[in-house]
Structure 1
């Protein structure tokens, strides 16, 4: 009810961006009204809303997904105790590319005006996304978070720790976490880690691992996602190809 009213009022005042912002705000009011009488002491806020969303269905709406993704990005940006402008710019550019300028601006406005003023629970967000998104999509979320951390030229230990914690909430397997992490840390073992094998692997095992990773990270698995997501998947896919080509060159097979 409030979501529809909010969208109409927002459109009349600010046209399309106002409609989106009004819908978001109205949806939150609807959800908070529906949660009255169910909150426990110390609960409520966005954490309670995300808990209820997780219970309601098997898919996540675009509006919820964008706000949740932005919330996770905020944890990474603040992980090392400072807010990097290059990381902020990366997130904004990503959202504009994925959703268009007006929709991205409306999402940032709702986040700044409402979401970040409440307690944001990364675990609740992770649980909701885990229940309502495919594993391949969650792998791309992980790659996106590492890309944010790397936007200023380096990924700090504190950022890695925060991303690893979020990966746990998203039920990302440790081998996949280490594979994506290795794409941002260049060292003698990076190619092996990207392919999720040890340095002692045989040539045959390397070839088998490459075929497995190609299937796992192929961009076609994200054909239903936004363009920015598909481009991110292509970057990840190229990292797998480059790792395999590096080992081919080193070993001469």
Structure 2
């Protein structure tokens, strides 16, 4: 409670009571009214500061968790590019409505993580995000990871594996994950089409489809006149790429 504000309220109430009633009793009544009214104002004032401070702490925590998750992604490469850090800032502003006060912390958090890599525990970060963030926000985080991964025009197997692991632990539904993923890795959809399976096909279903197509188009299985080299190469490439994307063994 704001003590100075409360004392001033009592004094003002006492003085007004004396002026209006011209006696001590009126002053005491005024003091009581001043105590009630100004104490309530002081309490409300402090509550507003507390709420603002709590929101600041919560927003700062969420930003820290998201940035740590992004750092874990870009750390899959040898170098962290400035464009990747800028991409994170822009996405946080646009999709999360984070203002400049919080955005300014991105560079500092990245710097601290680079100085002390032991400070990054991805599983702990994911646990915190599951606690603080809504399902929609978690989908946005997955999208952010893809945005960062493709910001250098080249998404690696390690980055795909990392994002796949995060999506699974954030408990994002497979269909929602695939919708996000397909915005950035369009060629993967084509690989599914070549093998004649849908995106949610299991590893076993993909392997079965691949083997059937290989048996149909392999040069040892068809007449030379019927052999389509380009078609066969597409089938092999599609399967090999899906092995990478889906981590099929």
* TM-score, length-scaled by structure 2: 0.47
Q: Which has the higher contact order (CA 8 A, sep 6+)?
A: 1
Q: Which of the pair has more CA radius of gyration?
A: 2
In proportion to residue count, which structure has more helix? 2
* TM-score, length-scaled by structure 1: 0.47
